[in-house]
Amino acid sequence: MMEQVNLGLVGGGTVGGGVWQALQRNGDLMAARLGVRLNVTRMAVRDPRRTRGFTVPASVLTGDWSEVVHDPNVQIVVELMGGTTTAREVVRAALKLGKPVVTANKALLSAHGPELFALAAKHQTNLYYEAAVAGGIPIIKAIRESFAGNRITRIAGIVNGTCNYILTRMKLEGAEFSEVLADAQRLGYAEAEPSLDVDGHDAAHKIGILASLAHGFWVKPGSIHTEGIRHISKLDIQFAGQLGYTIKLLGIIQPVAATAPTQGKKSKKTADDGHASAIQVSVYPALVPNTHVLASVNHAFNAVAVRGDTVGDTLFYGRGAGQDPTASSVLGDLADAAIDLRAGNHHRVPPFVSHNGQGTVASMDSISSRFYVRLDVSDRPGVFARIATVLARAKIGISSIIQPEGHTGETVPVILMLDAANNLSVRKALATIGKLPVVKSNPVVLRVENLD
């Protein structure tokens, strides 16, 4: 008889339901490929009596997660409930029992990753989390295993489908952010309370995990520079298009090639081998050249571009959220966990290896980039001169100025494309410009990422 591995699912919502249905649909296929049959013996849900869009035997359901974790027949625990409180209890309890855990919970890992990884190591088991980043895209396995022989010199990713959906529709329809957000909420692409997505926090959770894996030290959530997309208007989308760019919410991870102040630590110099000991870990909306492949990633799709010193440029593309894509990644982790169990090696590939004790996250103020700036200014002579004077004093060059025709009223938009400059210098200069009597609203500032 084929060997069987028993699973305990905690969470029967969108992802949990997707995993259950996928196992019913493709369980025989997985068994044929793996030589191991995956069998769900227990499933914890909030209300076992509630009607669902799929059928689970009553004997499998329970309202108590501890019954799943402590069931001696359950060999692998799958945490799909979300959140960082009860979910943490579930994962901790399972790891302490020496049971491998599969999770899709990026917020939990972002907040408590080091603690949970240490617990897995202590109890000689493993924690699998492919589904925590970019849905169905196998980016965790690629960075942790496939690119083990590479120094990762840059990761640039679109990792939040809600923001990408909103920005895509703003571009295609010429609509304002608030209009598209309301529609996205109605269609289920955005939550009723959308802050986690549109303010960049969800993307920051994912980018922090990728940065930690790529550079060998755990990146604390508070050290990640995070901006959202609320301040972007259809004017910005329009002007970016005229300049040959598309606006995307990007996660950027890359070494900082010069001495830079770092968050919480003293400055670190560039390493002797040419690789910086400090890295940039950031989430912000940026202008991406229309010629770059990330500019063409639309709607709810995700994409992560990874550059390694040996492999060169690679691209991972697919659906970054949703029931089936996330369930697909969970099933991949279950396959690894089942194979590891059968081989008697629960920690064949550790969930995270800290191999860079000197790594630090560079302060965003130390990072240089090009900038797009939109100003609403008084429509009268001498305005450009006053703005240019401030920038000149800050030693910031202007590569181009656009004042579109056809605008009526007392104010007009002015678009500045700035040469590469230090973020701190630009921030201070724009704070001064924003106080000029001729400037009638706060400057809108976006970085320009050429991704060369």
Spot the catalytic one: 206, 268, 435, 440.
206
Active site residue 248: no
Rounded to an integer, what distance in angstroms lies between the CA atom of residue 132 and that of residue 223?
Answer: 20
Map tokens 């995993």 to a residue. Answer: 19
Asked whether 156 and 305 are in contact (CB, 8 A), the reply is yes
- Which pair of structure tokens corresponds to residue 155? 């990761």
For 260-332, strand residue ranges (E) read 260-262, 265-268, 278-289, 301-308, 312-319
Q: 112 exposed, middle or buried (CB, 10 Å; 0-12, 13-18, 19+)?
A: middle
Cβ(164)–Cβ(304) below 8 Å: no
Q: Measuring CA to CA, which residue among 282, 283, 281, 276 is closest to residue 356?
A: 276
CA distances 183 to 200, 233, 368, Å, are: 19, 16, 36
DSSP string, 1-15: --EEEEEEEE--SHH
Cα–Cα distance for residue pair 443/439, rounded to 1 Å: 8
Question: Which residues are marked as active site?
Answer: 206
